[in-house]
Amino acid sequence: MPGTHPLRVALLGCGVVGTEVARGILANPIDLAARVGAPVELAGIAVRSLDAERDPAIPRELLTTDAETLVDGADVVVEVMGGIEPARTLILRALERGAAVVTANKALLAAGGPELFEAADAAGVDLLYEAAVAGAIPIVRPIRESLAGDHVRRILGIVNGTTNFVLDKMATEGVELDQAVKEAQQLGYAEADPTADVDGYDAAAKAAILASLAFHTRVALADVAREGIRAVTADDVEWAKRTGHVIKLLAVAEVLGPVDDGEISVRVHPALVPADHPLASVRGAFNAVFVEADGAGPLMFYGQGAGGRPTASAVLGDVVSAARRRLTGGKGLRESKDQRFPVLPPEAAVTRFQVRLAIADRPGVLAQVATVLADHGVSIDTVRQTSSHTHSGEGETGAATLVITTHAAREASLAATVDAVARLEPVRQIISVLRVEGA
């Protein structure tokens, strides 16, 4: 394409993802040029230190510590440095100068998205972030564009590969959480400090982004009720199997009430998923997002949620989109926030529950427990009572295990109900309370 001004891409960050983005632009320039309609040039890569050890494919002369100057000369700025600052300031600077921005920074979007979207709207440029949720899986664009003429009712997402790997390991090998986390660390699926994954912070940021997109409402990280997988035991996983479920850490976003005038609930927690649900077969470190929309019905998107190359694939797709728009003209995609649904507090969430109790193994206990549930307006779906001599591992002799699955109930009612059940004389222990999703 002689005479066509090359589109200048500034890359901020050169970690695992940044390196793969740079390789993608450098290794195959003809291809990107054909897809965009003009040559695409990697103008430079902003790094903290010029001397860090890097992939030999990264030309040293592209590196700079002067991110501001790099941003100022760019058509498209790709931010893959992570963290809040200086990413936020650099993205705002890019948008104000009229550059399109592509980011993979879920933490920044969940914490400070509105400010960034307003800056993008004001400048009329694209702020694209396909890589911020579920890595390589195209999920942002489908919700933002393909479902723009539909009403999303509910999203159930396995959006954290580390915890899915850990739970899958527990299910297939019967090991406890600590052991599974250790294996994930050895394989590079989990950080030395696994808090962000195990305690659900990473999934919560993604839940906020997905809910904002799906419900055209600004949902902040603080709106997301969050519970990690630390309390999940090998015993829970085994009982899940016995009752026809698998345990998954889910990001849930749903509308309660009328789809055009409802309230939304956004949360992250471990949940029992029926074994025949499409999400149940998502194994290892894979991610999947299940979407229920009024018109489309159920949809699922499945793939790799992390890793340098998969994440770079999503970033490069956005680079092509942003670069094409620079070339062909027109304003960037606006943030859609027309619905402004109120976000419910965590205790108002409505789900089905499975409560597992150790009870005295004698007649009449189930009746007592069922009465307490009825008194609290919590309706029972199924009950399963097992004497300890048929299944081991449930504690003392003379105890039975009672597994109760409820119909949908408010989180607050369920908590009160469980408290009352725990006070019953023949109830030895509330072993676990798990939500059931996807039924």
- Pick out the residues of the known binding site for L-homoserine: 191
Q: Return the SS3 of 209.
A: helix
DSSP 223-247: GSEE--STT--HHHHHHHHHTTEEE
Whether the ω angle into residue 258 lies within 30 degrees of 0, i.e. cis, is: no
Distance in Å, CB of 111 to a second copy, minimum? 25
295 near a second copy, rule: CB under 8 A: yes
Residues that bind a second copy (rule: CB under 8 A) add up to a total of 63
- Rounded least distance, CB 30 to a second copy, Å: 8
Q: Does 4 bind a second copy (CB under 8 A)?
A: no
Residue ranges in 145-164 that form contacts with a second copy under rule CB under 8 A: 145-151
Q: 395-400: long-range contacts at Cβ-Cβ below 8 A with a sequence spacing of 24 or more?
A: 395/358, 395/428, 395/429, 396/358, 396/428, 398/360, 398/361, 399/358, 399/359, 399/360, 399/361, 399/428, 400/358, 400/359, 400/360, 400/361, 400/365
Which candidate in 169, 182, 206, 337 is catalytic? 206
The one among 88, 97, 141, 384 contacting a second copy by CB under 8 A = 141
Closest separation in Å from C-beta 225 to a second copy: 27
Is residue 15 part of the contact set for a second copy (CB under 8 A)?
no
Binding residues for NADPH: 106
Q: Among 179, 185, 233, 336, which residue sits at the site for a second copy (rule: CB under 8 A)?
A: 336
Q: Can you tell me which of 333, 349, 402, 418 binds a second copy, judged by CB under 8 A?
A: 333
Q: Which stretch binds a second copy (CB under 8 A): 185-193, 334-342, 356-364, 380-388?
A: 334-342
E-strand stretches of 18-89? 40-46, 63-64, 76-79
Of the pair 72, 301, the CB lying nearest a second copy is at 301
CB count within 10 Å of CB 425 equals: 8
Would you count residue 137 as binding a second copy (CB under 8 A)? yes
- The rounded distance, in Å, linking the Cα atoms of 40 and 76 is 10
| Nearest CA-CA partner of 274 in 436, 50, 73, 49 | 436
Shortest approach of a second copy to residue 396 CB, angstroms?
A: 40
Q: Following DSSP, what letter does each residue of 167-203 receive, concatenated?
A: HHHHHHH---HHHHHHHHHHTTSS-SSTHHHHTTHHH
Which residues fall in the annotated binding site for NADP(+)?
A: 12-19
Q: Note if 337 is an active site residue.
A: no
Q: Give yes or no for residue 71 binding a second copy (CB under 8 A).
A: no
Q: Which residues bind a second copy (CB under 8 A)?
A: 20, 24, 28, 31-32, 34-35, 37, 124, 130, 136-138, 141-142, 145-151, 216, 260, 278, 281, 293-304, 307, 309-310, 312-321, 324-325, 328-334, 336, 338-339
Catalytic residue numbers, as ranges:
206
